[in-house]
């Protein structure tokens, strides 16, 4: 038992080292994770969605719960229309957020440098109401990807014109194609096992604490730390180890 724990600690340390030395090779950007004292842990996904979106959250929840380290459960949302972050869980919302360029937005608040303390997912009906995006495939992909970000996962690939990798954590021009990008793939589950290989002495899951938040406009997201034609990642530093990381997938 003791040896096993030690082995896990060494693996976690090695994984951390890998993230810092080859950020490109890993898609768990920044190694952000929910603090928890045992695996698998259960994360609540607050449903603030209108009826036409509920099945997509349900699919994403089932898909990600196949992971050996975490489970998700869809619960009644607590943020209504404004999608305000609730500590210890994830809030998921849809709304016509306007022609602001983004199709989907995932934000995670981080405390103590790496521990996720809340997550929000927003999908923009201004674009999902158009013929281009009003398809089950686009809705499945974006919901899956944004929920995936709230666990600390980044993108497997930021290119949009290359072939689909068969994972929702991949940008694309066409979610279907020969290999569909509608669901997580084995690499995503492996990545989650790596991120959550270690255990923490405290938990941020289901805990109440003040969490920093950002708004719906780019101006509030802080510094852009990753960029590609189809999506960007921003970090807003609130000081003392507190930050909000925002993953945006652009429409068009
Ligand atoms: Zn930890
Ligand atoms: Zn993304």
| Ligand sitting nearest the alpha carbon of 250 | 2
pLDDT band at 168 (very low <50, low <70, confident <90, very high): very high
CATH, residue 146: 3.40.390.10
Percent of the chain that is helix, strand, coil (3-state, to 5): 25, 25, 45
* Residues less than 5 Å from ion ligand 1, measured at CB: 200
Q: What is the mean pLDDT of residues 172-197?
A: 93
2: CA distance to ligand 2 center in Å? 38
Report the alpha-carbon distance of residue 145 to residue 53 in Å, rounded.
15
- 4 or 195, greater pLDDT: 195
Render pLDDT for 123-151 as a digit per residue (tens, 0 to 9).
999 999 999 999 999 999 999 999 999 99
pLDDT tens, residue by residue, 190-228: 999 999 999 999 999 999 888 899 999 999 999 999 998
pLDDT at residue 187 in the model: 96
Q: Which are the contacts of 125, defined by CB distance < 8 A and separation ≥ 6?
A: 94, 95, 96, 97
Which residues constitute the domain of residue 56?
Answer: 2-250
Start-to-end CA distance of the chain, whole Å, equals: 52
Residue 121 pLDDT greater than 80, yes or no: yes
The mean of the pLDDT values for the chain is: 88
What pLDDT does residue 172 have?
Answer: 86
pLDDT of residue 184: 97
CA of 237 to the centre of ligand 2 (A): 20
Ligand nearest to the CA of 234: 2
Tell how far the Cα of 153 is from the centroid of ligand 2, in angstroms.
Answer: 9
Counting ligands in written order, which one lies closest to the CA of residue 15? Answer: 1
Instruction: Considering every ligand atom shown, identify the ligand nearest to the alpha carbon of residue 197 and give its number.
Output: 1
Scan for tokens 């997580």, then name that residue.
184
Q: Which ligand is nearest to the CA of 153?
A: 2
Q: How close is the Cα of 112 to the center of ligand 1, in Å? A: 10
The alpha carbon of 115 and the centre of ligand 1 are apart by a number of angstroms equal to: 6
**Ligand 2 midpoint to CA 146 (Å):** 6
State the pLDDT at residue 24.
36
> What is the reported pLDDT for 218?
94
For residue 18, pLDDT over 90 is answered with no
- CA of residue 182 to ligand 2 center, whole Å: 13
Q: Which of 149, 136, 53 is nearest to 96 (CA)?
A: 53
Is the pLDDT at 152 greater than 80, yes or no?
A: yes
Protein residues near ligand 2, an ion, with CB under 5 A: 145, 231, 247, 249
Pick the ligand that lies closest to the CA of residue 168.
Answer: 2
**pLDDT tens string 35-94:** 999 999 999 999 999 999 999 999 999 999 999 999 999 999 998 778 999 999 999 999
| Among candidate residues 135, 148, 241, the one with its CA nearest the CA of residue 187 | 148
| Maximum pairwise Cα distance, the chain | 57
Ligand closest to 116 (CA) is 1
SS (H, E, C) 129-196: CCCCCCCHHHHHHHHHHHHHHCCCCCCCECCCCCCCCCCCCECCCCCCCCCCCCCCCHHHHHHHHHHC
What's residue 7's pLDDT?
A: 47
The number of distinct structural domains making up the chain is: 1
């Amino acid at each position: 038992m003791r040896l096993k724990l030690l082995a896990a600690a060494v693996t976690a340390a090695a994984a951390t080292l890998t993230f810092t030395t080859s950020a490109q090779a890993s898609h768990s950007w920044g190694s952000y994770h929910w603090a928890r004292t045992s695996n698998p842990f259960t994360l609540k996904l607050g449903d603030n969605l209108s009826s036409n979106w509920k099945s997509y959250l349900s699919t994403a929840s089932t898909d990600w719960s196949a992971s050996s380290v975490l489970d998700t459960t869809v619960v009644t949302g607590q943020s209504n229309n404004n999608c305000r972050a609730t500590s210890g869980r994830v809030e998921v919302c849809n709304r016509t957020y306007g022609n602001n360029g983004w199709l989907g937005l995932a934000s995670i608040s981080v405390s103590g440098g790496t521990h996720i303390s809340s997550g929000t997912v927003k999908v923009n009906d201004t674009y999902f109401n158009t013929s281009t995006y009003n398809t089950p495939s686009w809705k499945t992909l974006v919901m899956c990807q944004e929920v995936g970000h709230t666990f600390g996962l980044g993108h497997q690939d930021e290119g949009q014109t290359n072939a689909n990798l068969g994972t929702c954590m991949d940008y694309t021009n066409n979610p279907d194609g020969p290999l569909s990008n509608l669901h997580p793939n084995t690499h995503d589950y492996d990545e989650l096992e790596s991120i959550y290989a270690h255990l923490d002495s405290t938990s941020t899951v289901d805990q109440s604490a003040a969490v920093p938040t950002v708004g719906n406009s780019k101006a509030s997201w802080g510094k852009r730390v990753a960029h590609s034609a189809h999506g960007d990642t921003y970090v807003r530093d609130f000081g003392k180890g507190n930050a909000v990381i925002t993953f945006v997938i652009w429409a068009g």
